[in-house]
Amino acid sequence: MNFCLSKCRNLHITCLPLPYKTKNMGLKDEIILININGADRPGVTAALTEILAKNNAVILDIGQADIHNNLSLGILFQSCGGNSGDILKELLFKSYELDVNIRFNPITEEEYTKWVNMQGKNRYIITILGRMLTAKQIAGVTRIVADQGMNIDDIKRLTGRIPLDENSRTPKASVEFSVRGTPRDKELMKAEFMKLSSEQVMDISFQEESMYRRMRRLICFDMDSTLIETEVIDELAIRAGVGDQVKAITESAMRGEIDFSESFRQRCALLKGLDVSVMQDIAENLPITEGVDRLMRILKKVGFKIAILSGGFTYFGNYLKQKYNIDYVYANELEVVDGKLTGRHIGDIVDGKRKAELLRLIAQVENVDIRQTVAVGDGANDLPMISIAGLGIAFHAKPKVKATAKQSISTIGLDGILYFLGYKDSYLEEQM
């Protein structure tokens, strides 16, 4: 016997043929999916779930979203004692009272079992970042996901609500997709994301969902051209009158064209005779990268340990340490004699290999699993630590570094890292 809902057109329902079963008919329990949408107001979810509670229904799954005060609610439930017909009628009339649309869909045991068996299977998080996000950008990402045979489970906006006045908008936008399935070709998928990000001027992060992603505890930064928008050795070289020579060596090293340690020795030698007093002036006028103040404040608030692992110099790393309450600084020490730089350094050079060693060491000291770590840098000498970290990010990096790193940020400031970590602006604003 069919219970047809089409007679109730004024009740905002979608007509689907459903078995009409009552307790007296002695039929088995049913699994039913209901979808409700309409204007959101306090009490809608409570009123509908109270009907299920009164009829001893078992809720198997529930999800709700609100977009511009419009509710979209889904509830998957199992009737108890074959009383699904009674439940549906009550829900139907209650939806009329609440002035919301309701749709019923029966689910077979086979369909439900298949859905349950998908639990925990290959989940990924895709995060997109940009100064602004357009329909074309989102369409490009979702098309790549669909072509790989993956399904989107959830979409949420991480940045704040967007005002119509363009002058009032924050200069960043981020959306996160939770997707499920096994990519047909993961390397091709990543290549397509990289191509799309270049064409559409946005950043795309593709991460495997895991407990470690939600429990990052240690973050290690390069300093020059990452936390600050300059290479300190170039600033020193300008004061020493050898700016062009040092800058050329720096750029070649960052591109990976020459060995970092050798380039470091060459550049230090050119600084011989520079008065050490210029270092304070440079430190006090360092150009801090966009987003650093906000990022550091939030990272400390949520309990991160923060380290600077730099091929630059300890003097400037310590200046940033005091400014942002950073926990660790490892960089290079310049030799000073009679108030002048000698053109030599003291101790081992902090190169790419050393950065990776220090990341592992700090993680061990802090009792943090390497999968809970984050590493951020822009140069070729940052790749070793970026490659071993749980989340490695190339920030406004050289092409070789960006192509090698798993994640990259090129369109917004350093606080874009917060979105790769899954934080929402609305949550952060409440906590700050």
Whether residue 396 sits in one domain with residue 319: yes
Residue 25 has pLDDT above 70, yes or no: no
| Catalytic member of 40, 86, 224, 378 | 224
Looking at residue 4, its pLDDT comes to 39
Q: For residue 295, what pLDDT band results from cuts at 50, 70 and 90?
A: very high
Q: Is 21 within a domain? A: no
How far from chain centre, in Å, is Cα 319? 29
Looking at residue 120, its pLDDT comes to 63
Asked which of 85, 117, 149 is the last residue of a domain, the reply is: 117
Whether residue 423 sits in one domain with residue 295: yes
**Which CATH number does the domain housing residue 288 bear?**
3.40.50.1000
**Which CATH number does the domain housing residue 130 bear?**
3.30.70.260
How far from chain centre, in Å, is Cα 416? 8
Whether residue 303 sits in one domain with residue 398: yes
What pLDDT, in 10s, does the model give residues 345-386? 999 999 999 999 999 999 999 999 999 999 999 988 999 999
Please give the Cα distance from 152 to 177 (Å, whole number). Answer: 7
Q: For residue 26, what pLDDT band results from cuts at 50, 70 and 90?
A: very low
What pLDDT, in 10s, does the model give residues 232-273? 999 999 999 999 999 899 888 777 788 888 888 999 999 999
Q: For residue 171, what pLDDT band results from cuts at 50, 70 and 90?
A: confident
Q: Is 253 within a domain? A: no
| Catalytic member of 40, 86, 222, 415 | 222
Q: For residue 426, what pLDDT band results from cuts at 50, 70 and 90?
A: confident
Whether the CB-CB separation of 328 and 342 falls below 8 Å is answered with no
Whether residue 425 sits in one domain with residue 302: yes
Whether residue 155 sits in one domain with residue 188: yes
Q: Which residue has the higher pLDDT, 414 or 17?
A: 414
Residue 148 has pLDDT above 90, yes or no: yes
Q: For residue 406, what pLDDT band results from cuts at 50, 70 and 90?
A: confident
Please give the Cα distance from 411 to 392 (Å, whole number). Answer: 17
Q: Is 272 within a domain? A: no
Asked which of 209, 240, 264 is the last residue of a domain, the reply is: 209
Q: Quote the percentage of the chain above a pLDDT of 90.
A: 71
User: What mean pLDDT value characterizes the chain?
Assistant: 88
Looking at residue 17, its pLDDT comes to 44
Q: Is 112 within a domain? A: yes
The pLDDT of 382-395, averaged and rounded, is 96
129-155 exposure pattern, b = at least 16 Cβ within 10 A, e = fewer: bbebbeeebbebbbebbeebebeeeee
260-269 and 232-240 helices cross at what angle (nearest 10)? 30
Looking at residue 185, its pLDDT comes to 95
Whether residue 409 sits in one domain with residue 326: yes
Looking at residue 431, its pLDDT comes to 58
Q: Which residue has the higher pLDDT, 84 or 45?
A: 45
What pLDDT, in 10s, does the model give residues 296-339? 999 999 999 999 999 999 999 999 999 999 999 999 999 999 99
Whether residue 155 sits in one domain with residue 76: no
| Residue 259 is a catalytic residue | no
Looking at residue 374, its pLDDT comes to 98
Query: Of the segments 3-7, 19-23, 248-252, which one has the largest average pLDDT value?
Result: 248-252
Query: Of the segments 86-90, 111-115, 313-317, which one has the largest average pLDDT value?
Result: 313-317
Q: Is 255 within a domain? A: no
- The string of DSSP letters for 357-378 reads HHHHHHHHHTT--GGGEEEEES
Whether residue 386 sits in one domain with residue 329: yes
Whether residue 318 sits in one domain with residue 179: no
Q: Is 264 within a domain? A: no
Whether residue 226 sits in one domain with residue 84: no
Residue 428 has pLDDT above 90, yes or no: no
Q: For residue 9, what pLDDT band results from cuts at 50, 70 and 90?
A: very low
Looking at residue 389, its pLDDT comes to 97
- How many structural domains are present in the chain? 3
DSSP state of 44: H
Looking at residue 12, its pLDDT comes to 46
Q: For residue 147, what pLDDT band results from cuts at 50, 70 and 90?
A: very high
Place of tokens 């660790």: 328
| Residue 224 is a catalytic residue | yes
Whether residue 193 sits in one domain with residue 289: no
Please give the Cα distance from 351 to 181 (Å, whole number). Answer: 39
- Residue 59, domain extent: 30-117
Asked which of 117, 142, 166 is the last residue of a domain, the reply is: 117
Q: Quote the percentage of the chain above a pLDDT of 70.
A: 91
Residue 399 has pLDDT above 60, yes or no: yes
Looking at residue 83, its pLDDT comes to 82
Looking at residue 355, its pLDDT comes to 97
What pLDDT, in 10s, does the model give residues 175-207? 999 999 999 999 999 999 999 999 999 999 999
Query: Of the segments 29-33, 352-356, 394-398, which one has the largest average pLDDT value?
Result: 352-356
Q: Is 9 within a domain? A: no
The two beta strands, 173-180 and 101-107, are unpaired
Q: Is 186 within a domain? A: yes
Residue 11 has pLDDT above 90, yes or no: no
Whether residue 136 sits in one domain with residue 89: no
Whether the CB-CB separation of 218 and 363 falls below 8 Å is answered with yes
